[in-house]
Structure 1
Amino acid sequence: MNVPVRAEEVYPALAPVTFAQLAHVPGPPPARFRTLRTLQFLRDPRGTVNRLAATYGPVFRRQDNFGWGVTLLGPEANELVLFNKDRIFSSKLGWNPVLERLFPNGLMLMDFEEHRVHRKTLSVAFKPAPMKAYLGGLTEGIDRTVAGWPTDAPMKFYPAIKDLTLDLAAGCFLGVPWGPEAREINRAFMDMVLAAVAVVRKPLPFTQMRRGVKGREYMSAYFAREIPKRRGRTADDIFTQIVNAEDENGRLLSDQEVIDHMNFLMMAAHDTLTSSLTSLVYFLGINPEWQERLREEVDGVRARHGERLPHEALGELELVEMAFKEALRLVPPVPMIPRRALRDFEFMGYRIPAGSGVGVNPMYTHMMPEHWPDPERFDPLRFTTQMSANRHKYAWVPFGGGAHMCLGLHFAYMQAKAFMFRLLSDRRIVLPQGYRAEFRMVPIPRPKDGLPVSLPRR
Structure 2
Amino acid sequence: MSMALPSASVTPPKRNSLKHIPGDEGWPLIGHTLQILADPKGFIEKRAQKYGLVYRSHIFGETSVVLLGPDGNELVMFDQDKLFSSEHGWGSILELLFPRGLMLRDFEEHRIHRKALSVAFKAGPMQSYLAKLDRGIAARIAQWRKQPGEMKIYPAMKQLTLDLAATSFLGADIGPEVDTINRALIDMVAAAVAPIRRPLPGTQMARGVNGRKRIVAYFSEQIPIRRVKGGDDLFSQLCQAKDENDKLLSAQDVIDHMSFLMMAAHDTLTSSLTSFVGELAAHPGWQQKLRDEVMALRLAADDPISSGELDKLPLTEMAFNEALRKKPPVPSMPRRAVRDFSFMGFAIPAGTLVGVNPLFTHHMPAIWPDPDTFDPLRFTGEAQRARHRFAFVPYGGGAHKCLGQHFAYMQAKCFARHFLQNLSVSLPQGYKPEWQIWPIPKPRDGLRVVVKPV
* Alignment correspondent of 1:371: 367
Per the TM alignment, residue 259 of structure 1 is displaced from its structure 2 partner at its CA by 0.5
1:77 lines up with 2:77 in the alignment: no
SS in 2 for 1:277: helix
* Alignment correspondent of 1:190: 186
Between the aligned partners of 2:276 and 2:9, the Cα distance in structure 1 is 44
Q: TM-score, normalised by structure 2?
A: 0.96
Amino acid at match of 1:292: Q
Amino acid at match of 2:345: G
Which is further off, 170-179 or 330-339?
170-179
* Alignment correspondent of 1:126: 121
Per the TM alignment, residue 305 of structure 1 is displaced from its structure 2 partner at its CA by 11
* Alignment correspondent of 1:328: 324
Structural RMSD (CA): 1.7
* Alignment correspondent of 1:58: 53
The partner residue of 1:98 within 83, 93, 110 is: 93
Between the aligned partners of 1:176 and 1:280, the Cα distance in structure 2 is 27
1:171-202 CA-partner distances (Å, limit 9, x unpaired): 11000356654444333222222222222211
The partner residue of 1:89 within 61, 84, 92 is: 84
1:264-283 CA-partner distances (Å, limit 9, x unpaired): 00001111100000000000
Per the TM alignment, residue 13 of structure 1 is displaced from its structure 2 partner at its CA by 4.3
1:207 lines up with 2:198 in the alignment: no
Amino acid at match of 1:363: L
Kept after mapping to 2: 8 A contact 1:196/1:443: no
Between the aligned partners of 2:10 and 2:315, the Cα distance in structure 1 is 47
SS in 1 for 2:452: coil
The partner residue of 1:236 within 213, 232, 237 is: 232
Kept after mapping to 1: 8 A contact 2:138/2:302: no
Between the aligned partners of 2:285 and 2:176, the Cα distance in structure 1 is 40
Give the alignment of 1:31-180 within 5 angstroms: 31-34=27-30, 37-149=32-144, 150-176=146-172, 180=176
Kept after mapping to 2: 8 A contact 1:279/1:327: yes
Kept after mapping to 2: 8 A contact 1:49/1:364: yes
1:339 lines up with 2:335 in the alignment: yes
Kept after mapping to 2: 8 A contact 1:152/1:454: yes
Give the alignment of 1:222-233 within 5 angstroms: 222-233=218-229
Per the TM alignment, residue 12 of structure 1 is displaced from its structure 2 partner at its CA by 4.3
Identity %: 54
Between the aligned partners of 2:434 and 2:336, the Cα distance in structure 1 is 31
Between the aligned partners of 1:39 and 1:253, the Cα distance in structure 2 is 42
SS in 2 for 1:236: coil
Which is further off, 24-33 or 390-399?
24-33
Between the aligned partners of 1:142 and 1:409, the Cα distance in structure 2 is 19
Between the aligned partners of 2:395 and 2:114, the Cα distance in structure 1 is 15
SS in 2 for 1:302: coil
SS in 1 for 2:440: coil
Q: TM-score, normalised by structure 1?
A: 0.95
Between the aligned partners of 2:10 and 2:301, the Cα distance in structure 1 is 57
* Alignment correspondent of 2:308: 312
Amino acid at match of 1:45: P
1:311-345 CA-partner distances (Å, limit 9, x unpaired): 22111010110111110000000000110000111
Gapped runs of 5+ residues in structure 2?
none
1:236-275 CA-partner distances (Å, limit 9, x unpaired): 1000000111112111111111110000000011111000
SS in 1 for 2:296: helix
Amino acid at match of 1:426: N
Gapped runs of 5+ residues in structure 1?
none
Which is further off, 365-374 or 382-391?
382-391
Between the aligned partners of 1:199 and 1:94, the Cα distance in structure 2 is 17
Between the aligned partners of 2:10 and 2:166, the Cα distance in structure 1 is 40
Between the aligned partners of 1:227 and 1:418, the Cα distance in structure 2 is 30
Which is further off, 358-367 or 427-436?
427-436
The partner residue of 2:394 within 373, 394, 398 is: 398
* Alignment correspondent of 1:356: 352
Which is further off, 167-176 or 296-305?
296-305
Q: CA 1:199–1:304 in 2, change beyond 3 Å: closer, same or farther? A: closer
SS in 2 for 1:382: helix
Q: CA 1:183–1:432 in 2, change beyond 3 Å: closer, same or farther? A: farther
Amino acid at match of 2:316: V
The partner residue of 1:18 within 4, 14, 21 is: 14
Which is further off, 209-218 or 339-348?
209-218
Give the alignment of 1:361-440 within 5 angstroms: 361-440=357-436
SS in 2 for 1:428: strand
Between the aligned partners of 1:146 and 1:292, the Cα distance in structure 2 is 18
Between the aligned partners of 2:173 and 2:415, the Cα distance in structure 1 is 18
SS in 2 for 1:396: coil
Q: CA 1:442–1:390 in 2, change beyond 3 Å: closer, same or farther? A: same
Between the aligned partners of 1:77 and 1:285, the Cα distance in structure 2 is 34
Per the TM alignment, residue 449 of structure 1 is displaced from its structure 2 partner at its CA by 0.6
SS in 1 for 2:183: helix
Amino acid at match of 2:123: P
